[in-house]
Amino acid sequence: MEEKMRMSGIDIIGNIPWGTHFCQFYQTKEDLMDVLVPYFKTGLENNEFCMWITSQPLDVKDAKEALRKAVPDFDVYLEKGQIEIIPYTHWYVQEGYFDSEKVLNGWIEKLKKALANGYEGLRLSGNTFWLEKKDWNDFVQYEKEIDNIIGNYQMIALCTYCLEKCNSTEIVDVVINHQFALIKREGKWEQIESSKRKRAEETALQAAKDWKHTFDAVPDLIAIIDTEYRVVRANRAMAAKLGVTPEECVGLTCYQAVHGTDSPPFFCPHKQLLKDGMEHTTEICEDCLGGCFLVSVSPLYDSKENLIGSVHVARDITESKQAVEALYEAYENLRVKSEELQAQAEEIQMQNEELQAQTEEIQTQNEELQAQAEELNEAYCLLCKSEERFRTLAENSPDIVARFDRLNRHLYVNPAAAEPYGRSPEEIIGKTNRELGMDPELVKLWESHYQTVFASGKTEKMDFHYISPPGKEYYFSTRIVPEFVNDDITSVLAISRDITDIKKAEIGLKEARDNLKKLVEKRTLKLRKAYELLEESEKGLAEAQKMSHLGNWNWNIESNELYWSDEIYRIFGCRPQEFGATYDSFLSYVHPEDRVLVDETVKEAFNGKIYSIDHRIFRADGRERIVHEQGEVIFDRENVPVQMKGTVQDVTERKLAEKALELASKYNRSLIEASLDPLVTIGTDGKITDVNISTETITGYSRDELIGTDFSDYFTEPEKAKESYMHVFQEGLVRDYPLEILHRDGHITHVLYNASVYRGETGEVIGVFAAARDITELKKAGEKIKTLVSAVESSDDAVITMSLDGMITSWNIGAEKVYGYSAEEILGKKMSVLEPANLEGEIKQLIERIKQGEGINHYETVRLKKDSTLVDISVALSPVFDDSGKIMALSAIARNITERKKAEEALRLSNIYNRSLLEASLDPLVTIGPDGKITDVNKATEQITGYSRSELIGTDFTNYFTEPEKAEEGYQQVFRKGSVLDYALEIQHRNGSVTPVLYNASIYRDESGKVIGVFAAARDITELKKAEEILELKLEELARSNADLEQFAYVSSHDLQEPLRMIASYLQLLQRRYQGELDERADKYIYFAVDGASRMQSLINDLLEFSRVTTKARELEPTDCESILKYVLSDLEFSIKENEATVSYDSLPEIMADGTQLTQVFQNLISNAIKFRSKETPKIHVSAENEGDKWRFSVQDNGIGIDPKYAEKIFELFKRLHKREDYPGTGIGLSICKKIIERHGGDIWVESEPGRGSTFYFTLSASFEKLH
């Protein structure tokens, strides 16, 4: 039976069995982390109770933090008590010294509690850094004890040793007392096996082979019996006697197989051994064994000295027993005759005395004496014949028969003595054993027994080892019997049986026992585990019987005695002492309504009918159950029922299930009818046998019309439909078979058919069940899926699918970008090609986690690209399921986060830099917790308050202001709104001085987004306040100056109009009247004067218009931009037609604006677009686009364009880019547009290139609130 393996979590070790005891030699804290973190992580994930005993260099806090990083749910495991992490002072040296027995018992108690709490077992580790030299030997002995016993328990132990604290001898001590050790060499962990353990295992394995050979080679019958009288193992000789194979012997009950009884016989040596634990020997004679056997039984113990059974050795003594019995019978006959002769001799003596006393009667009694003499002679003849018969038996006996007198001389020896003595009987008779040169020690032994028999008159027995003169080795068992004549012992008869073969067999058996004992000692772990697994198997079998709720009964009809098995008592809920054990008692438990039926069924069984019935019972606790009984009646030779036996099974759950199944069938029919998919069953002839309502709906025919018609009649392609169901009959099923159902009104529905055969009770195919799915919407969805596939292929993320063993099956373009491999290069290869050497096996571990049902999202790691460079990725893994819900593949989406990692590093450096900046800041900076307490400050805060950082932290923020309530309201406002800007406060120094400041503050959050405080910065505005006061004065002056200037510009431009108009009028009049009458130069001067006056008039008009933007501005009001544009186009109609221009526009919004000024903007921009035309016909387009809180307007043309370097210059006052002769104008139009748009709170700009037209953009608010 295989040992149950556990995952170690350590790659180099792999899976290990319970009872594993190994060690780790470490040098650094990181070495410990490398092994212990995955070791305990795996234990937690596999429902094991974990204990970690820490010591330097790793304390409890370090251990918890390390596991918390590796195990996402570590705190859950910790809270429910699945892992304990404690220092060595709370475990190894609780009383100040190391007590190995207390520690060992502590582990066992922890295991018991763990098993009771439902954990699989105990996974432990202890660090020995604390161990001092004086405790070393005790700790080594403790490790040895753990190594010896751990195999008995569901434990895994890992002991960690600091390499620097161990010398070479101590390292050897550690390795010997562990199964293997882990040590780091050249940066890699290596596994070192214990040489002592290896040798022990090899020796045990060889011993097992030798013992097995001896076990089967010995001619004696050998069997190993457990405490339940079951055969655990038998040799070939034993199996042959029983007429079975050795394997078939296993599990047999010994007394049933050998004696044919239902219980152990009174003389059973195994029964006696189980009582006293001693060895026992007895003789048994059984026909099944074919004779008489000397049976010797010896106890068999496990490593805990618990009796687990015995070893039986049976030697065939049939022939020797027959010889002994024959010899004993001859001896008994001889003894009887000898006693008779002695009695006769005594009688003769008495008669002689009578003859002496009555000499006078001698003559008269002579005839009587003669007769007596004749009788005596006859008795003597009988004695001679008896002696002759004795000699005949002795001469032919295989045993050595010798007679000795009181001087230890041989009076007689039989021929069997010649070979052991090395002499003929004639050379032996008359001599003592000493005279024959026998071993003096043996002679002393023999003669002492002879003399004891002479002295006591009782039979003696002795066994001895003897080597004959030729050197042959013997073992003899000798019985020494006294021989009497006239109540005197005249000689002793020594009968010696050669037991050499038996002794050698016993020696061989002893050696086999010794080997077995050594094997048991050396292979305790495996034997114990095998035995435990056997017990578990037996318990499992018993549990299975119990779970099946099946018991057996036996009713003796003549005596009305009823036997119930334990399970029947459990079914009926009673105990044996509560049950009368009669048929009537049984009937009392039967439901009153079922008693007559049960009784009648029993009576029918007496008449030969089968007894099989389901009926109800009431348990002893009153609960009603349903049982199934089955039995048979046994009849005697006269066909009278004498016995009835059978079984009882609790079928309550099955009956309830059958009832539920009946309801389920009805429910299923309801489900079929409720299905939106058409469902149909088809016979082997292609005819419809049943349909649901959806089929009626989709075809337009009723159920009665459909049943019996050909399935293929209702499709646009009948032959294709027929081919589909024929395919089902041939292959067993069909999936997603496309067809088109034709409704009786001509409507066509696209469907996908899924169909499979269904069978009768005998397994033959009787029809097809088909379901159609309307895929009208699915076809539409198909187009979306194509779009989704296209999106996956175009994604920058690597989208990969792989098989459960890590083989790549799909690879998108994003994967090519991330890893550098093309699909052709990578498909079919393992994902492990992307692993760097230091992360080897990580992908396999991730796959295992997915198989265990764990989700993996945003898992950050490093992978190897094709060009051998490393790339940081964030990966999400998810399972891909088949139709049955079983995981068939894995999907991976990986994102290149290299840049993000660089950014994080930059952020880390930035944080360091930022702290430096904070400390270097001249502004007071402070952080405040939700409770209003200061959590940190910079040096500037210390200076402005006069308090140190340590004095400030933990105090109330408001304590340092002239108005604490206002300060509190300030930071509370930050918590409510998220920030506050330019919040005015006054800080009070501890010396009483006051500093006005403006606070800017905002909340800050933790990683989860939770608000954890406020960051506030104060700006000393002492100088600012002074500057503000000066600025206010300057602003007032500037405002007055601007107002004066604007008024001046307006008045100037307005007042200059009249004299300029007069100058221009008279100049024009002068030009008309005198042109040509003066000389050419005078004409030219007059022309320049008229032109200058005109330009001056235009400049003054434009300047007046520019000033009116502010002086004559109106309130903003809802204005329809489209109406404004139409009005402008109407004004410009002549210019548009003259230049054959085309002006188009989109729908324009309604906004808050000064309509007159907006008209000026459109008019200036469109006029410019016409003026600065190219050779092409002018095309102008006006549009507006909503950008949330504002509208962005554009006026686009195809004119001459503008060099981008002049994009800002053109909006300046009187700035021109062209000669006045080429393009007339003052250059003030765009300045007016800019001023108008800025007054409306917007911006204006141009985007253009020479020769490619221009687009003027301006923005206006989308809000209908008035601007202030």
Alpha carbon of residue 545 to chain centroid: 31
- pTM equals 0.27
Residue 1059 has pLDDT above 70, yes or no: no
Of the options 3.40.50.12500, 3.30.530.20, 3.40.630.30, 3.30.450.20, the CATH number for the domain spanning 675-741+753-773: 3.30.450.20
Tell me the C-alpha distance between 1129 and 925, whole Å: 59
Share above pLDDT 70 across residues of the chain, in percent, rounded to a whole number: 79
Please tell me the CATH code under which domain 202-316 is placed. 3.30.450.20
569: closest CA among 554, 579, 560, 582?
Answer: 579
What is the per-residue DSSP string for 617-643? Answer: EE-TTS-EEEEEEEEEEEE-TTS-EEE
Instruction: For residue range 1061-1079, list pLDDT tens digits in order.
Output: 667 677 777 777 777 777 7
Return left, alpha or beta for 487; rule: phi > 0 is left, psi -120 to 50 is alpha, else beta: left
Task: Kindly indicate whether the domain formed by 921-1020 is annotated with CATH number 3.30.450.20.
Answer: yes
Split at pLDDT 50, 70, 90, the class of 502 is: confident
Instruction: For residue range 107-161, list pLDDT tens digits in order.
Output: 899 999 999 999 999 999 998 888 777 777 778 888 888 877 887 889 999 999 8
Instruction: For residue range 300-341, list pLDDT tens digits in order.
Output: 876 567 788 888 888 777 766 665 565 556 556 656 655 665
What is the pLDDT at residue 1061?
A: 65
The residue assigned the tokens 């499992």 is: 540
For residue 57, cis peptide bond before it (omega within 30 degrees of 0): yes
What is the pLDDT at residue 782?
A: 42
What is the pLDDT at residue 1048?
A: 57
Q: What are phi and psi of 864, to 5 degrees?
A: -100, 125
Split at pLDDT 50, 70, 90, the class of 239 is: confident
Pull the structure tokens for residue 722: 């027929």
Residue 298 has pLDDT above 90, yes or no: no
Residue 977 has pLDDT above 60, yes or no: yes
Q: What is the largest CA-CA distance in the chain?
A: 239
Is residue 402 a contact partner of residue 496, using CB atoms and an 8 Å limit?
yes
Instruction: For residue range 32-63, list pLDDT tens digits in order.
Output: 999 999 999 999 999 999 999 998 888 899 99
What is the pLDDT at residue 1247?
A: 93
> What's the CATH architecture for 5-193?
3-Layer(aba) Sandwich (3.40)
Q: What are phi and psi of 120, to 5 degrees?
A: -70, -35
1201: closest CA among 1237, 1238, 1175, 1229?
Answer: 1175
Residue 360 has pLDDT above 60, yes or no: no
Pick 579 or 1054 by higher pLDDT: 579
226-235, 375-384, 650-659, 918-927: which is most confident: 226-235
Residue 380 has pLDDT above 50, yes or no: no
What is the pLDDT at residue 1093?
A: 65
Spatial strand order of the sheet with 280-286 comes to: 231-234, 221-226, 307-316, 291-301, 280-286
754: closest CA among 727, 719, 715, 791?
Answer: 727
What is the pLDDT at residue 145?
A: 81
What is the per-residue DSSP string for 1185-1199? Answer: EE-SSEEEEEEE--S
Split at pLDDT 50, 70, 90, the class of 198 is: low
Pick 502 or 737 by higher pLDDT: 737
Pull the structure tokens for residue 449: 């027994």
Is residue 932 a contact partner of residue 957, using CB atoms and an 8 Å limit?
yes
Please tell me the CATH code under which domain 1113-1261 is placed. 3.30.565.10
Split at pLDDT 50, 70, 90, the class of 594 is: very high
What is the pLDDT at residue 525?
A: 65
The residue assigned the tokens 């585990």 is: 529
Split at pLDDT 50, 70, 90, the class of 796 is: confident
Instruction: For residue range 702-740, list pLDDT tens digits in order.
Output: 999 999 999 899 999 999 988 887 888 888 888 888 899
Is residue 1144 a contact partner of residue 1180, using CB atoms and an 8 Å limit?
yes
Looking at residue 98, what DSSP letter applies? -
Tell me the C-alpha distance between 708 and 756, whole Å: 20
What is the pLDDT at residue 168?
A: 56
Q: Range with the lowest mean pLDDT among 32-41, 385-394, 561-570, 955-964?
A: 385-394
Instruction: For residue range 471-497, list pLDDT tens digits in order.
Output: 889 999 999 999 888 788 989 999 998
Q: Parallel, antiparallel, or unpaired for β 1011-1020 and 994-1005?
A: antiparallel
Residue 217 has pLDDT above 70, yes or no: no
483: closest CA among 474, 495, 496, 498?
Answer: 495
Average confidence (pLDDT) over 507-522: 66
Pull the structure tokens for residue 726: 């024929």
Tell me the C-alpha distance between 56 and 127, whole Å: 8
497-505: long-range pairs with CB below 8 Å, 24+: 497/320, 497/324, 497/399, 498/398, 498/399, 498/400, 498/474, 499/463, 499/475, 500/473, 500/474, 500/475, 502/294, 502/315, 502/475, 503/475, 504/475, 505/218, 505/219, 505/220, 505/313, 505/315
Instruction: For residue range 1173-1220, list pLDDT tens digits in order.
Output: 888 999 999 999 998 889 999 999 999 899 888 888 888 876 677 666
Average confidence (pLDDT) over 770-777: 79
Pick 1038 or 861 by higher pLDDT: 861
Split at pLDDT 50, 70, 90, the class of 284 is: confident
Residue 397 has pLDDT above 80, yes or no: no
**Domain ranges across the chain:** 5-193, 202-316, 548-656, 675-741+753-773, 795-902, 921-1020, 1113-1261
What is the pLDDT at residue 375?
A: 52
What is the pLDDT at residue 541?
A: 43
- Do 795-902 and 921-1020 share a fold? yes
On average, the pLDDT of the chain sits at: 81
What is the pLDDT at residue 323?
A: 57
Class of 548-656 in CATH: alpha beta
Split at pLDDT 50, 70, 90, the class of 2 is: very low
What is the pLDDT at residue 819?
A: 92
Pull the structure tokens for residue 355: 């003859």
Instruction: For residue range 1066-1125, list pLDDT tens digits in order.
Output: 777 777 777 777 777 777 777 777 766 665 655 566 555 655 565 556 788 899 999 999
Tell me the residue type at 549.
H
H helix or E strand, kind and range, residue 949: helix 949-952
Is residue 620 a contact partner of residue 577, using CB atoms and an 8 Å limit?
no
**C-alpha distances out from residue 612 to 285, 386, 602, 605, 958, Å:** 45, 74, 9, 9, 93
Is residue 425 a contact partner of residue 413, using CB atoms and an 8 Å limit?
yes
123: closest CA among 55, 40, 33?
Answer: 40
Q: Parallel, antiparallel, or unpaired for β 5-7 and 221-226?
A: unpaired
Is residue 1011 a contact partner of residue 1003, using CB atoms and an 8 Å limit?
yes
Average confidence (pLDDT) over 611-618: 92
Tell me the C-alpha distance between 898 and 870, whole Å: 9
Is residue 141 a contact partner of residue 7, using CB atoms and an 8 Å limit?
no
Average confidence (pLDDT) over 11-35: 90
What is the pLDDT at residue 42?
A: 94
What is the pLDDT at residue 43?
A: 93
Tell me the C-alpha distance between 546 and 19, whole Å: 31
Pick 504 or 1044 by higher pLDDT: 504
What is the per-residue DSSP string for 562-603? Answer: EEE-HHHHHHHT--GGG---SHHHHHHHB-GGGHHHHHHHHH
Could you give the dihedral angle defined by the CA atoms of residues 396, 399, 405 and 408, in that order, rounded to the nearest 10 degrees?
140
Please tell me the CATH code under which domain 795-902 is placed. 3.30.450.20
Is residue 807 a contact partner of residue 829, using CB atoms and an 8 Å limit?
yes
Tell me the residue type at 298.
S
